[in-house]
Amino acid sequence: MRTSEPFRTAFCLAAAVMEASLLLAGPALAAEKFEADLGFAPYDDATRSDMAGRGAVTATLDGNTMTIHGLFEGLKSPATVAQLRLGRGIAVPGAAIAELTIRSATDGDLSGTVALTASQAKALRAGWLYVQVESVKLAAPYGNLWGWLLPAREKVADGVVERGQRFLPQLALPQK
Amino acid sequence: MPSSAWFKHRLPGIALVALLCVLPWRLTPLAAQTAEGTFTEAQSLAGQAVYQQSCAACHLATLGGAGEAPPLAGDKFAQSWSDRTTADLFTLVKNGMPLGKPGSLSDAAYAQLVAFILQANGAKPGAAPLKPDTKVAMKTVITGVTPPGLLVRKPAAAPADGGGRRVVQPPTGVTLARKIEHYTPVTDAMLARPPAGDWLMHLHDYGGTSFSSLNQITVANAKQLQLKWVWAMDESGRQQFNPLVHDGVMFVSNNLTNVVQALDAKTGDLLWENRLGPTLSFSANASRTMGLYGNLVIYPSSDAKLYALDARTGKTVWRTVVTELNGLIGGLNVINGKVLIGLTRCDERPVKEHCYIAAYDVNTGKQLWKFTTVALKGQPGGDSWNNLPDNQRSGGDAWIAGTYDPTLNLAYWGIGQAKPHTRDARGSGTGATDYTNSTVALDADTGKLKWYHNLAPGETLDLDEVFERVLVDYDGHKAYFTVGKTGILWKGDRQNGKYLGHAETVFQNVYTKIDPKTGDVTYRPDILEQEQWLSSCPSAEGGHNWQAMSHYAPADLLIIPLSQSCSLWGSGEKVFPMPGTGGKMGRLSAYEGKTLKPIWSFQQSASFLTSVVTTAGGLAFVGDFDRNFWVINAQTGERLWKARLGTTAQGFPVTFMVDGKQFVAVPTGTEGGSPVKKPTMLVENRTIFRPHSGQAVYVFALPDE
Bridge partners for B629 per DSSP? B623, B643
pLDDT-derived band at A4 (thresholds 50, 70, 90) equals low
Q: Tell me, yes or no, if B147 comes closer than 8 A to chain A by beta carbon.
A: no
Q: Within 13 Å of residue B375, how many CA atoms lie on the same side as its CB? A: 26
Q: Tell me, yes or no, if B101 comes closer than 8 A to chain A by beta carbon.
A: no
Instruction: Report CA dihedral (B143, B144, B147, B149) to the nearest 10 degrees.
Output: 170
The edge-to-edge listing of strands for the beta sheet with B403-405 is: B403-405, B410-414, B438-443, B449-454
Q: Which of A45, A156, A165 sits opposite B598 (nearest CB)?
A: A165
Query: Is B657 a domain residue?
Result: no
B-contacting residues in A 109-128 (Cβ below 8 Å): 127
Mutate to test the interface with A, among B92, B135, B535 (most CBs of A within 10 A): B535
Q: Which positions ≥6 away from B364 have C-beta within 8 Å? A: B318
Asked whether the beta carbons of residue B509 and residue A44 sit closer than 8 angstroms, the reply is no
Q: Which of B537, B572, B637 sits opposite A44 (nearest CB)?
A: B572
Rounded to 5°, angle at Cα B501 from B495 and B507? 135
Backbone φ and ψ for B576, nearest 5 degrees, come out as -160, 160
Task: For residues B257 and B238, give the distance between their C-alpha atoms in angstroms, rounded to a whole number.
Answer: 11
Cβ-based contacts of B578 with chain A (< 8 Å): 91
CATH number at residue B132: 1.10.760.10
How many CB atoms are located within 10 Å of the residue B653 CB? 26
The pLDDT score that the predictor gives to residue B14 is 41
Q: Tell me, yes or no, if B584 comes closer than 8 A to chain A by beta carbon.
A: yes
B-contacting residues in A 22-61 (Cβ below 8 Å): 37, 39-46, 48-49, 52, 54
Asked whether the beta carbons of residue A45 and residue B681 sit closer than 8 angstroms, the reply is yes
Range of the domain at A9: 5-21+29-151+166-172
Identity of the amino acid at B87: A
Q: Quick one: which H or E segment has residue A79? A: strand A79-86
Q: Tell me, yes or no, if B636 comes closer than 8 A to chain A by beta carbon.
A: yes
Q: Tell me, yes or no, if B686 comes closer than 8 A to chain A by beta carbon.
A: yes
Strands B211-212 and B613-615: parallel
How many CB atoms are located within 10 Å of the residue B297 CB? 25
Whether residue B656 contacts residue B50, with contact meaning beta carbons closer than 8 Å, is answered with no
Min Cα distance A164 → chain B (Å) is: 5
Asked whether the beta carbons of residue B686 and residue A42 sit closer than 8 angstroms, the reply is no
Cβ-based contacts of B682 with chain A (< 8 Å): 40
What is the distance of C-alpha B373 from the center of its chain? 17
Asked whether the beta carbons of residue A166 and residue B598 sit closer than 8 angstroms, the reply is yes
The pLDDT score that the predictor gives to residue B474 is 96
The pLDDT score that the predictor gives to residue B608 is 98
Q: Tell me, yes or no, if B387 comes closer than 8 A to chain A by beta carbon.
A: no
Counting the structural domains of chain B, the total is 1
Q: Tell me, yes or no, if B478 comes closer than 8 A to chain A by beta carbon.
A: no
Q: Which of B97, B526, B600 sits opposite A92 (nearest CB)?
A: B526
Q: Tell me, yes or no, if A140 comes closer than 8 A to chain B by beta carbon.
A: no
Query: Is A157 a domain residue?
Result: no
Residues in chain B with pLDDT values less than 70: 1-36, 66-68, 100, 155-170, 530-531, 571
Query: Is A51 a domain residue?
Result: yes
Query: Is B132 a domain residue?
Result: yes
> B705: burial class by Cβ within 10 Å (0-12, 13-18, 19+)?
exposed
Strands B173-177 and B521-523: unpaired
Minimal-distance CA residue of chain B relative to A129: B579
Identity of the amino acid at B592: E
Whether residue B601 contacts residue B643, with contact meaning beta carbons closer than 8 Å, is answered with no
Q: Quick one: which H or E segment has residue B340? A: strand B338-344
Q: Tell me, yes or no, if A175 comes closer than 8 A to chain B by beta carbon.
A: yes
Q: Tell me, yes or no, if B578 comes closer than 8 A to chain A by beta carbon.
A: yes
Identity of the amino acid at B14: I
Asked whether the beta carbons of residue B580 and residue A167 sit closer than 8 angstroms, the reply is yes
Q: pTM for the whole thing?
A: 0.87
Q: Which positions ≥6 away from A72 have C-beta within 8 Å? A: A38, A53, A54, A55, A79, A107, A108, A109, A110, A133, A145
Query: Is A156 a domain residue?
Result: no
A-contacting residues in B 515-534 (Cβ below 8 Å): 524, 526
Asked whether the beta carbons of residue A40 and residue B577 sit closer than 8 angstroms, the reply is yes
The pLDDT score that the predictor gives to residue B79 is 77
Nearest residue to B120 (alpha-carbon basis) of B149, B95, B98, B96: B149
Q: Which of A1, A40, A89 sits opposite B524 (nearest CB)?
A: A89
CATH number at residue A76: 2.60.40
Asked whether the beta carbons of residue B573 and residue A44 sit closer than 8 angstroms, the reply is yes
Q: Quick one: which H or E segment has residue B52? A: helix B41-54
Q: Tell me, yes or no, if B89 comes closer than 8 A to chain A by beta carbon.
A: yes
Task: For residues A70 and A131, give the distance between their C-alpha atoms in angstroms, rounded to a whole number.
Answer: 10
Query: Is A108 a domain residue?
Result: yes
Q: Tell me, yes or no, if B562 comes closer than 8 A to chain A by beta carbon.
A: no
Counting the structural domains of chain A, the total is 1
Asked whether the beta carbons of residue B598 and residue A160 sit closer than 8 angstroms, the reply is no
Task: For residues B596 and B491, give the distance between their C-alpha atoms in angstroms, rounded to a whole number.
Answer: 8
C-alpha Rg value of chain A to the nearest Å? 16
Cβ-based contacts of B81 with chain A (< 8 Å): none
Query: Is B139 a domain residue?
Result: yes
Mutate to test the interface with A, among B507, B526, B575, B674 (most CBs of A within 10 A): B507
Q: Quick one: which H or E segment has residue B77? A: helix B75-80
B-contacting residues in A 1-20 (Cβ below 8 Å): 1-2
Min Cα distance A142 → chain B (Å) is: 10
Cβ-based contacts of A4 with chain B (< 8 Å): none
| A-B contacts (CB, under 8 Å) | 132
Query: Is A84 a domain residue?
Result: yes
> A163: burial class by Cβ within 10 Å (0-12, 13-18, 19+)?
exposed
Asked whether the beta carbons of residue B604 and residue A44 sit closer than 8 angstroms, the reply is no
Min Cα distance A47 → chain B (Å) is: 8
Backbone φ and ψ for B108, nearest 5 degrees, come out as -65, -40
Q: Tell me, yes or no, if A156 comes closer than 8 A to chain B by beta carbon.
A: yes
Asked whether the beta carbons of residue A45 and residue B506 sit closer than 8 angstroms, the reply is no
Asked whether the beta carbons of residue B537 and residue A91 sit closer than 8 angstroms, the reply is yes
Whether residue B576 contacts residue B565, with contact meaning beta carbons closer than 8 Å, is answered with yes
Asked whether the beta carbons of residue A40 and residue B682 sit closer than 8 angstroms, the reply is yes
Q: Tell me, yes or no, if B579 comes closer than 8 A to chain A by beta carbon.
A: yes
Mutate to test the interface with A, among B92, B489, B571, B574 (most CBs of A within 10 A): B574
Cβ-based contacts of B579 with chain A (< 8 Å): 37, 90-91, 127, 147-148, 150, 169
Q: Tell me, yes or no, if A94 comes closer than 8 A to chain B by beta carbon.
A: no
Task: For residues B618 and B252, give the distance between their C-alpha atoms in angstroms, rounded to a whole number.
Answer: 27
Q: Which positions ≥6 away from B139 have C-beta within 8 Å? A: B30, B33, B78, B81, B82, B83
Query: Is A161 a domain residue?
Result: no
The pLDDT score that the predictor gives to residue B325 is 86
The pLDDT score that the predictor gives to residue B36 is 66
Task: For residues B238 and B629, give the distance between their C-alpha atoms in angstroms, rounded to a whole number.
Answer: 19
Range of the domain at B89: 34-152
Q: b/e per residue, A15-37, with b = 16+ CB within 10 A? A: beebeeebeeeeeeeebebbbbb
